[in-house]
Amino acid sequence: MFDETLFTKAYNVGSCLTDLLTVQPMHGASVNGWVDIPLTFVIMIYFMAITITAASVAYFMKKKNPFVQALRKSVLIAFFCSGLLYLVYSERTWYEWLRHDVDAYSGKSTEEKTFIDFGSIYDFALAAQKALKDGEYTLYTSNKSFSLIAQYYLLPKRNRTNSKNILVFYDTDAIYDDSTKTFIKGDTRVENAEMIFRYDAGAYMLRIR
Amino acid sequence: MITALVALVIPLMLGFLIVSLLLQHDTTSGLAERFCLAYPLGMGIVTVQMFLLAIVHVPLKLWYVAAPIMIEIAGLSLWTRKRNVVLIKAPSFGLLSEIFGAGSNWIKKVSLVILTALVTVKIASIFMETCLRPIFAWDSFANWSAGAKAFFYSHGLLLDASPEDFFGKGLLNRNANYPPHNPLLQVWMSLWIEHFDEVFVKLWSPVYLLSMSVYLYVIMARETSRLISLAILVLFLSSPLMSLHSFEVYSDVPLSVYILFALIMFLYSMRGKDGYWALMGLFSAEALFTKDEAPFFVLPLLLAAAVFLWQNKGQGITLRKSAIPLFASLFLAVPWFVFKFTHKLGFGADYVTVELTLRPEMVWQVILLIASLANFNVFFLFIPLLAILAGRPKKEFILLGVPVLCYASFFITVYALTVFFSGKLMFEAAVFRNMLTYYPSVCFLTFLLIKTIILRWDGVQTGSISPKYLSP
């Protein structure tokens, strides 16, 4: 009995070999330094390398080349051919990325471009950067990556515990009572916290008087 | 934008003068080749100087940093004049003559035009991406740009800060023991731009790729033909990971350039060109100042150089012209290591701890990742085959190949004997990024194997390359 998954994979590979345009583009992100290439394409490269090597060896041996010489020439031809196929495939994706980036970023300022990448967290950090009078703040957010991105854009101002400036960016446990000027986060209770600006309901800056 | 270009040109000029002085007796290296060597060399020297200024508490402000470099450029210019060193050689347009000349057939001409266009468009697209996108990768922020930003705004390396902030410790999980070449490059750019611009601060990065690509082309074309050289270069540039790393502020591409250049300098040194020993030392030192992995390449390289010198003693190689300039140049990296160890900054990323284990299955995982072809063109796949088919390697190839092999093996040993990089994501990122740092060297070694195979194409064993494979 065929393993159904294996059979499906083999069928997909077969289909891709008959129509190269059906091969999925590579996926990837530079953030984690990886680029994922679909198995179908990898198999296609191997298939091509082996086929070209075998065919060229046969051709060169027919031309009275000794086996080793024929193999040397064939592997070199296979190297360049499979490299070329890889190039066509990878560059197709690369230029698609480039076209996308040209559409998204061209003609924009550095701030606008950064806003495209990071949106409200960047915008909030810029607003806070302007409002911060000294070099320190305490940042509260439930999202660790938001915390790190905000800290980056707030540099050279630094995140410290117990700063007079409190920045809150969507922290589910943080509560601010405007009427009593009290900020509560877990066991931390801060009185006399004045609202400096409110970016939106979940993002604001306070300063302790 | 113009000031960002000035920031790139000044290290280029500094590097160019140094290269011109060191290679004053070398008649083979052309103008383009020297410019390619000059940029990474100059950038490395600029950042080492910035580091030295900062540790003696000179503020990292534009004129404090730029003035010594300007003085050096002026001094070196006078020196080159005094010694009648030819700075600007007549540039050669061999590729254009081959395309438009009468010597080649039309198929070759069309191939050359297509390949040249592919290379040009690819490099131009990487420059375009650099100018389009701000810094976006999380680990660029954490490892390199957070420190750069803090250093730039504080006009120093935070050496007077409290222990928890010393040298930028704790800035977004920054590893304070990483060499500061990359952050200082960003500081250098920012000093000229006058603020920390998330786009232009990384303009130095694709210039490393440009230098490496043109240099590889020139060297490979000289050794075989322009057609072969361009064909290999086009395949080399199609690595998605290298393209991505060339427009983001990572350190892997600069390290890969220093490793490749140190290797090629060693090749020319072995061929009796004395000026290259010092350059080999300088590029090795700059590799050491770029990433913590570099010692695991530089030490085997120095060992290979020692073996070469030992085997060839009494054959016209004097220590005064080989080992002394090589080891003297390495002193460029000494201040960093003294600083690093006197302040107990440690080695490798902060999360790396010596926790040994035995995981031989990781070797198989690495092989699977290499075989998956993700991130790189087929060089890693074909190099073992080509090495077997090329037959008995020349001593020159062994001495070049062993440091790269040791370096690659070091990483595999780390994966197999330690508990680092256990998670799938971390492991894959580590494997591919480490491979990126020796990918250009593997490309160059692959080229040397191809050259050997072509030489033996018609049964020729050794000796000079057949004229039919050489450029006119």
A165 touches chain B (CB under 8 A): no
- Return the higher-pLDDT residue of B42 and B84: B42
Split at pLDDT 50, 70, 90, the class of B414 is confident
- Using CA atoms, how far residue B287 sits from B20, B209, B253, in Å, is 21, 15, 11
Dist CA B362 CA B413 (whole Å): 9
User: For residue B158, is it left (φ>0), alpha (ψ between -120 and 50) or beta?
Assistant: left
Determine the pLDDT at residue B257: 98
Instruction: Say what percent of chain B tops pLDDT 70.
Output: 94
Q: Is the pLDDT of residue A29 over 90?
A: no
- Return the higher-pLDDT residue of A196 and B102: A196
Residue A177, min C-alpha distance to chain B (Å): 30
Q: Do A90 and B128 touch (CB under 8 A)?
A: no
Determine the pLDDT at residue B124: 97
Determine the pLDDT at residue B427: 79
Determine the pLDDT at residue B423: 62
Dist CA B45 CA B184 (whole Å): 11
Which residues are CB-neighbours of B216 under 8 A, at least 6 positions away? B229, B232, B233, B236, B260, B440, B443, B444
- Return the higher-pLDDT residue of B461 and B331: B331
Task: Tell whether ipTM is more than 0.95.
Answer: no
**Dihedrals φ, ψ of A175, to 5°?**
-130, 135
Interior angle at CA B275, CA B269 and CA B278, nearest 5: 85
Split at pLDDT 50, 70, 90, the class of A39 is confident
Determine the pLDDT at residue B464: 42
Which residues are CB-neighbours of B390 under 8 A, at least 6 positions away? A72, B449, B452, B453, B456
**Which residues from A are below 8 Å from B241, CB to CB?**
30, 33-35
Residue A15, min C-alpha distance to chain B (Å): 20
Instruction: Say what percent of chain A tops pLDDT 70.
Output: 83
Q: Which of B133, B241, B457 sits opposite A33 (nearest CB)?
A: B241
Residue B123, min C-alpha distance to chain A (Å): 12
Q: Do B238 and A87 touch (CB under 8 A)?
A: yes
**Which residues from B are below 8 Å from A87, CB to CB?**
234-235, 238, 377
Average pLDDT over every residue of B64-88? 92
* Lowest-pLDDT choice from A54-63, A179-188, B311-320: B311-320
Determine the pLDDT at residue A18: 56
Split at pLDDT 50, 70, 90, the class of B54 is very high
Which residues are CB-neighbours of A152 under 8 A, at least 6 positions away? B141, B145, B146, B149, B172
pTM: 0.92
Specify the DSSP element, H or E, that contains A35.
strand A34-36
Greatest mean pLDDT range, A30-34, A131-135, B30-34, B465-469? B30-34
Greatest mean pLDDT range, A49-58, A156-165, B174-183, B350-359? A49-58
Collapse the DSSP code of A196 into the 3-class scheme (helix H, G, I; strand E, B; otherwise coil) and give the result.
Answer: strand
Q: What is the mean pLDDT of chain A?
A: 85
Q: Which of B231, B373, B453 sits opposite A86 (nearest CB)?
A: B373
Split at pLDDT 50, 70, 90, the class of B187 is very high
Instruction: Say what percent of chain B tops pLDDT 90.
Output: 66
Q: Is the pLDDT of residue A202 over 70?
A: yes
Residue B346 is given by DSSP the state -
Q: Do A86 and B378 touch (CB under 8 A)?
A: yes
Average pLDDT over every residue of B358-368? 87
Q: What does the pLDDT look like over B248-282, one tens digit per residue?
A: 999 999 999 999 999 999 999 999 888 899 999 99
Determine the pLDDT at residue B346: 77
**Dihedrals φ, ψ of B182, to 5°?**
-65, -50
